[in-house]
Chain A
Amino acid sequence: MTGPAPAGTPFLQVRDLTVSFRTDDGVVHAVDRLSFSVERGRTLGIVGESGSGKSVTSLAIMGLHRRGRRVSIDGEIRLDGEDLVTAPAERVRGLRGQRMAMIFQDPLSSMHPQFTVGEQIVEAYRVHNRVSRAAARRRATELLELVGIPEPARRLDDYPHQFSGGMRQRAMIAMAVSCNPELLIADEPTTALDVTVQAQILDLMRELQKEFNSAIIIITHDLGVVAEISDDILVMYAGQAMEHGGVEEVFAHAEHPYTWGLLQSITRLDRQLETTLRTIPGSPPSLINVPPGCPFHPRCTYRELAGPAASTVRPPLAEASPGHRVACHLPVDERRRLLREEVTPTL
């Protein structure tokens, strides 16, 4: 299927995405029936603790999982209407770099150490654009300039290790945006960086989005980063979606106990000091043995309120208010009461 999708269809639509890995220890249910969408010009922040399936989700969208006996991918990933799950591998490879691109946490591991930064951008660009080497080099210089690398023409001939962490991330972004991708996925792009450099990179991503009107997915475990850069937020736990909605709505009226737990356990500069931090008891589960029912139930303070269903029936991600979806058995009114009476006073 080619050509633009019918009006009203989101640019990226993920439906019931399920990714599992067969390992010697058992089947890893890395992503389980995950659904969300992102429009052009919007940014979705995906948050969750390590091992919650964030990277597996982004690699699935980019078609970067090696398909085979050990990996199974089900559900739909529609980019501008075209399903990438059933598309042939060459087709997805063609889209990658042209319509979609990805930025990783550690640019050093995704750049080739023996080629200069310039050579790598030129190569990435020429895969999809039939231009001369000289023209590609001019484009590479423009790109480095665009992402804020000083003296771009000279820095083109540097090797990745000659760049600082922040500069490498900028170069990685330059490579990713070389073909004006319509979908950009950034997997923990600032986790390894200092705050001042993180702020620069987030600014850069914001500017680029304005320029290219791309759909952006930013994956992070930092709620502050999500609040600063995203339009929408998806909270993941154990490979499943817990809560999804606009950032302002979710930060002001979170309705999932896990989201509450995250918001309560962070230290924040904009709040009064507390004597003791609130914590979420226990630790995230192994994705080989995901708790049945609501995956969060072993750690949930409110599981008793939800009755026996908490540990037997998986709560669907259901709309609590327009555009705000929550996967929890508690009745909406009860969640709102808890938020008002028990949670908000502690935030």
Chain B
Amino acid sequence: MSDNLAKDLASPAAGEGAMPTPPADAPATGAVPAATADAGALRDRPAGGGDELVRVTDLTKLFPVRRGTLVRRGAGAVRAVDGVSFAIDRGTTLGLVGESGSGKSTAGRLISRLLEPTSGSVVFDGQDISHLSSRQLRPLRRDIQMIFQDPYSSLNPRHTIGAIVAAPMRIQKQVPRRGVRDRVRELLELVGLNPEHYNRYPNEFSGGQRQRIGIARALATRPKLIIADEPVSALDVSIRAQIINLLDGLRTEFGLTYLFIAHDLSMVRHLSDRVAVMYLGQIIELADRTDLFSGALHPYTHALLSAVPIPDPTSHRRRERIRLHDEVPSPLNPPVACRFHPRCWKAQEICRTEAPPLLERAPGHQVACHFPEKRDVV
């Protein structure tokens, strides 16, 4: 690791201009003061005192690993999501970022209860849904909908888009049979498609249009929560912006709550109120958008932000670069204590022996690091 990585930067984080920057609670240069004794209690405080739609607590999902037919010695379990806690307030968007394999999709599938947690809980709209049976889950399917990355594979090619969009309504029997067609047209129009096209098949639409179909289908049951898992990753730049604007507009129009999963940090910044960063199945930092993007405290968040290419050849030359060595270790056998320590340029002895808890270091800003501090990276 080169010296300039080890040295602490003296520059304060840049303000975000358009967003009011809250007073910095931590000195820009030095280390953030140790969490106060009651910081642990603060953890469970509902974010912003708002009205929670979702709360997950110590959520964990292990996937047992089998190699061949025999469960071999040493083959344990993939700790896909490992003790994750957060809440999403009604009408807000939580962005979930992290590199592939960090457990984002698994977290989304646990919350939508496409998967059952190994331990921990998911409370949705006041109800603990962690272990509901599939029959008990049926009414919930209406309230929680997912949008997936791949608009190609998530739409049945043999069904018309009208049938695709209507399917959730039919299953939920929310809308009288006669009303379904009108509602479908309404939905298609809402997502910017021609309502007369309900008799066409998915292959007659472009990637962006197919994603609109996926969104119309997700809206059909008037859900409260939408879990969008990389909804624009497969789309072209010019189409991405259209879909982001659509998601944004729908949120305002219907007061939707989003869990927005993406690996594109600038997209997450655009759409999210709060942002959680995952690494190897755990949340390592969770903060309001502005605090995360201009006042991140965790070295891994710094490394992620620093790696995002900036479309400005001149600023690129000025920009300080943090380069992580190696790649994310296997979630089958994650490093002990701080999971980031083998790649962290700030690691000390304690990082190898004690797992840093996710503590609130500034109002609403939680970090899991023994040595959190601000650093100017963008």
Residues of A participating in the B interface, judged by any CB pair closer than 8 Å: 49-50, 150, 164, 166-167, 194-200, 202-203, 221-228, 247-248, 251-252, 261-263, 265-270, 272-274, 276-280, 283-284
Cβ-neighbour of A194 out of B100, B245, B311 (below 8 A) = B100
- Is there contact, CB below 8 Å, between A195 and B308? yes
Asked, given contacts A167-B327, A195-B308, A269-B308, whether A251 binds B238 with beta carbons under 8 Å apart, the answer is no
Distance between Cα atoms of A166 and B100 in the complex (Å): 12
CA of A274 to CA of B18 in the docked complex: distance in angstroms? 8
Chain A's closest residue to B309 (CB) is: A224
| Contact indicator B270/A261 (Cβ below 8 Å) | no
A222 to B263, CA, bound (A): 14
Are B313 and A247 in contact, CB atoms less than 8 angstroms apart?
yes
Chain B residue contacts of A199, Cβ below 8 A: 306-307, 309, 321, 323-324
Q: B332 in the interface, Cβ–Cβ < 8 Å?
A: no
B236 at the interface (CB under 8 A from A): yes
Judge whether B99 and A194 touch: CB under 8 Å. yes
On chain B, the residues within 8 Å of A273 by CB distance are: 16, 18-19, 269-270
Besides A198-B307, A199-B324, 11 other CB < 8 A contacts?
A199-B306, A199-B309, A247-B313, A265-B238, A265-B240, A267-B270, A268-B312, A270-B312, A273-B270, A277-B245, A284-B238
Q: Is the interface of B mostly helix, strand, loop or mixed?
A: helix
With A164-B327, A269-B269, A283-B239 already in contact, the answer to whether A195 and B208 are too (CB < 8 A) is no
Task: Annotate B274-316 by CB proximity to A: 1 below 8 A, 0 otherwise.
Answer: 0000000000000000000100000000011111111111111
Give 17 pairs: A residue, B residue, CB < 8 Å, sorted on A: A197-B327, A222-B309, A247-B313, A251-B313, A262-B238, A266-B266, A267-B270, A268-B311, A269-B265, A269-B293, A269-B305, A270-B315, A272-B16, A274-B18, A276-B245, A277-B244, A279-B241
Contact of B309 (CB < 8 Å), options: A194, A200, A228: A228
Chain B residues near A202: list those with CB within 8 A. 309
**Is B70 in the interface zone, CB < 8 Å from A?**
no
Question: Does A265 contact B206, Cβ atoms closer than 8 Å?
Answer: no
Instruction: With CB as the reference atom, state the residue of chain A lying closest to B290.
Output: A273
Q: A268-B266, A277-B244, A279-B241 are in contact. Are A196 and B17 (CB under 8 A)?
A: no
The 0/1 profile, CB within 8 Å of A marked 1, for residues 316-360 of chain B is: 100001011011100000000000000000000000000000000
Q: Select one of A226, A268, A283 contacting B208, CB under 8 A.
A: A283
Task: Return the 8 tightest CB-CB contacts between A and B, nearest first.
Answer: A224-B309, A265-B241, A272-B18, A280-B238, A194-B99, A267-B266, A49-B236, A272-B17
Shortest CB distance B332–A (Å): 13
Cβ contact within 8 Å between A267 and B313: no
Cβ of A38 to closest chain B Cβ, rounded Å: 17
B41 at the A interface (CB under 8 A)? no
- By the criterion of a CB under 8 Å from any partner CB, how many residues of chain B are at the interface? 48
Chain B residues with CB under 8 Å of A265's CB are: 237-238, 240-241
Q: Which residue of B lies closest to A250 (CB)?
A: B313
Which residue from chain B places its CB closest to the CB of A231 in the assembled complex? B313
Q: Within the complex, what minimum Cβ distance (angstroms) separates B305 from chain A?
A: 7
The residue in B245, B269, B308 that gathers the most chain A C-beta atoms within 10 A of its C-beta is B308
Q: CB distance A261 to B269 under 8 Å? A: no
Is A228's CB under 8 angstroms from B316's CB?
Answer: yes
Q: Shortest Cβ distance from B60 into chain A, in angstroms?
A: 23
Given A167-B327, A196-B303, A273-B16, residue A266 in contact with residue B310 (CB < 8 A): no
B378 within 8 A of partner (CB): yes
**Of A49, A50, A194, A252, which is in contact with the most chain B CB atoms at under 10 Å from its CB?**
A194
A196 touches B311 (CB 8 A): no
With A195-B307, A198-B307 as contacts: A279 and B238 at CB distance below 8 Å: yes
Which chain A residue has the least Cβ–Cβ distance from B306? A199
Give the residue of B100, B293, B316 whose beta carbon is less than 8 angstroms from that of A227. Answer: B316
Within 8 A of A (CB), among B224-250: 236-242, 244-245, 248
Could you say which residues of chain B place their CB within 8 Å of the CB of A164? 327
> Which chain B positions have C-beta within 8 A of A228?
309-310, 313, 316
Decide yes or no whether B42 CB sits under 8 A from chain A. no
Q: Which residues of B contact A203 (CB under 8 A)?
A: 323
Indicate whether B267 reaches chain A with its CB closer than 8 angstroms: yes
Chain A residue at smallest Cβ distance from B242: A279
Give chain A residues whose Cβ lies under 8 Å from the Cβ of B265: 195, 269
Separation in Å of the A13 CB from the closest CB of chain B? 24
Whether the Cβ atoms of B238 and A49 lie closer than 8 Å is: yes
Partner among B17, B267, B304 whose Cβ is within 8 Å of the Cβ of A267: B267
Out of B240, B309, B314, B327, name the residue touching A166 (CB < 8 Å).
Answer: B327
Q: Quick one: closest B residue to A200, CB to CB?
A: B323
A223 to B266, CA, bound (A): 13
Which residues of A are found within 8 Å of B17, using beta-carbon distances? 272
Taking CB atoms, residues of chain B closer than 8 Å to A221 are 236-237
Minimum CB distance partner of A197 in chain B: B327
User: B1-22 interface mask toward A, CB cutoff 8 Å, 1 = contact, 0 = none?
Assistant: 0000000000000001111000
Among B327, B328, B378, contact of A269 (Cβ-Cβ < 8 Å): B378
What's the nearest-Cβ distance from chain A to residue B322, in Å? 9
- CB contacts (< 8 Å) of A276 on chain B: these are 245, 248
B270: chain A residues at CB < 8 Å are 267, 273-274, 277
Does B311 contact A266, Cβ atoms closer than 8 Å?
yes
Tell me the smallest distance from the CB of B173 to a CB of chain A, in Å.
36
Q: Are B237 and A248 in touch, CB under 8 angstroms? A: no
**Residue among B16, B208, B237, B326 with max Cβ neighbours from chain A (10 Å):** B237
In angstroms, Cα B27 to Cα A283, docked, is 48
- B316→A269 contact, CB < 8 A: no
Between A196, A198, A265, the greatest number of chain B beta carbons within 10 A of the residue's beta carbon is seen for A196
B289 to chain A, nearest CB (A): 8
Contacts of A198 in B (CB 8 A): 307, 309
Given A166-B327, A224-B311, is A270 in contact with B378 using a C-beta cutoff of 8 Å?
yes
With a CB–CB cut-off of 8 A, which chain B residues contact A251? 311-314
Q: Please measure, in the bound complex, the distance between the C-alpha atom of A210 and the C-alpha atom of B289, giving whole angstroms.
A: 39
Q: Which residues of B contact A262 (CB under 8 A)?
A: 237-238
Q: Please, which residues of chain B bring their CB within 8 A of the CB of A226?
A: 311
